[in-house]
């Protein structure tokens, strides 16, 4: 799999734009847990995921986290290259949730191509629209869904990503995804266990009644 | 004030694009309280505010509201023309908070110009970036700020918009902006009154200690 076959608007670029991209592109392989971009670092560049899994989150002054969206194979992260747009005035942190191979497109290179290509600018618009949709969903969740529903939705999402009903994940990590506290997640998981929905053991959550989890979400 | 002098990228359009816009543009004057766009209606078109004040909000299944952002003179609303982008999969409602004069650009006209003009596409990107920044601020607020701080920030915003320390606004309206309940807002305002920050009378909130309001926010 090459950058040329992965970058969605490759064929819309002229040859000068193509070679500019290829000549400045950075290929990286990062370990699980690596911070790839953080608001306090440089304007890292646009990230295209070759394979793996990333998480974009925001963090409060007190260090509390909440996941904004996750990125999988072929997904692209704009906000790690926030300086391509004047109007983006917020900080996200991007962390590898699994070992991840990725390409980084330097921001100034991407911007110079976006400035001259309507195709690339509109592609960028669509990506931002996708993230906007993610974030609007998140607002709905935190405004109007109770934590049991949000936790149920998160566990379902995880079983899909991991393709397994046995999740190796700590209560602390779940709290960071959902913008909650570890103690609160532990209490809710114990409640789920009492209801026969999950089975808890050290570092492992086993989903035993998936139907009940789904009916909680609806 | 004409559309030509208000639309920020007018001079970047060629004459065919300019006449296409002028020939299809709709000028509207709406009363306070009018719903200009709602998720269940058609893809209304892109709104450019000539003068007045709009509010974009989302609504829960149970009818609860929360304000996403507000639009003032010369501001543009993309999401009322959501069908210009495939990736936008959420609904906003746009309501006039004051008598408002506006232009509506039909979505398919805007899209056809955006598809061929990198300038218009990048302008659209910048607007979406601005709204994204608004919405990320909102997530920070609802996740990590207590209601007293949010109410204080809202009252400060209102005194700036109205250029007055006497706000004609109901507790219900404030609740709809902040995604809260009327009873909760009333309780908090009474607490502010006890602290000597505001003075409440029927349909009116007078800010008497602005400094205290500012210190609450920080």
Distance from CA of A124 to the nearest CA of B (A): 8
State how far Cα B60 lies from the chain centre.
Answer: 18
Please tell me the predicted confidence (pLDDT) of residue B42. 81
Q: Record the pTM.
A: 0.91
Quick check: B90 contacting A, CB < 8 Å?
yes
Average pLDDT of the segment spanning A204-210: 96
Please tell me the predicted confidence (pLDDT) of residue A174. 96
- Name residues whose C-beta falls within 8 Å of residue A101's C-beta, 6 or more positions apart in sequence: A27, A28, A29, A49, A50, A51, A52
Please tell me the predicted confidence (pLDDT) of residue A177. 95
Quick check: B142 contacting A, CB < 8 Å?
yes
Residues facing residue A35 across a β-bridge = A95
Quick check: A15 contacting B, CB < 8 Å?
no
Neighbours of B195 (CB within 10 A): 12
Each residue's pLDDT expressed in tens, for chain B with a length of 218 residues: 899 999 999 999 999 999 999 999 999 999 999 999 997 778 989 999 999 999 999 999 888 999 999 999 999 999 999 999 999 999 999 999 999 999 999 999 999 999 999 999 999 999 999 999 999 999 999 999 999 999 999 999 999 999 999 999 999 999 999 999 999 999 999 999 999 999 999 889 999 999 999 999 98
State how far Cα B150 lies from the chain centre.
Answer: 17
* Domains of chain B: residue spans and CATH: 3-143 (2.60.120.10), 145-217 (1.10.10.10)
Here the tokens at position A2 are 């090459």
Nearest to B138 among A61, A87, A139 (CB): A139
Nearest to B87 among A60, A129, A139 (CB): A129
Put simply, the answer to whether A124 touches B127 (Cβ < 8 Å) is: no
Q: List pLDDT tens digits, range A188-200.
A: 999 999 999 999 9
Q: List pLDDT tens digits, range B52-101.
A: 999 999 999 888 999 999 999 999 999 999 999 999 999 999 999 999 99
Q: Could you tell me if residue A168 is left (phi over 0), alpha (psi between -120 and 50 degrees) or otherwise beta? A: beta
Q: List pLDDT tens digits, range A45-67.
A: 999 999 999 999 999 988 899 99
Nearest to A132 among B114, B128, B139 (CB): B128
């Amino acid at each position: 799999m090459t950058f040329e076959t992965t970058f969605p608007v490759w064929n819309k670029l002229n040859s000068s734009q193509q070679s500019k991209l290829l000549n400045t592109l950075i290929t990286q392989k990062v370990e699980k847990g690596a911070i790839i971009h953080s608001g306090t670092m440089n304007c890292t560049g646009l990230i295209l995921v070759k394979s793996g899994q990333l998480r974009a989150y925001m963090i409060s002054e007190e260090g509390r986290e909440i996941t904004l969206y996750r990125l999988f194979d072929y997904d692209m992260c704009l906000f790690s290259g926030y300086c391509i747009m004047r109007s983006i005035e917020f900080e996200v942190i991007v962390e590898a949730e699994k070992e991840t191979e990725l390409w980084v497109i330097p921001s100034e290179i991407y911007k110079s191509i976006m400035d001259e290509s309507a195709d690339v600018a509109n592609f960028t618009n669509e990506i931002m629209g996708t993230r906007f949709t993610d974030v609007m969903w998140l607002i709905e969740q935190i405004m109007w869904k109770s934590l049991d529903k949000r936790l149920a939705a998160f566990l379902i999402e995880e079983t899909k990503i991991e393709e397994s009903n046995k999740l190796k994940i700590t209560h602390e990590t779940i709290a960071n995804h959902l913008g909650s506290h570890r103690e609160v997640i532990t209490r809710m998981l114990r409640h789920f266990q009492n209801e026969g929905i999950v089975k808890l053991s050290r570092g492992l959550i086993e989903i035993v009644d998936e139907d009940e989890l789904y009916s909680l979400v609806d």
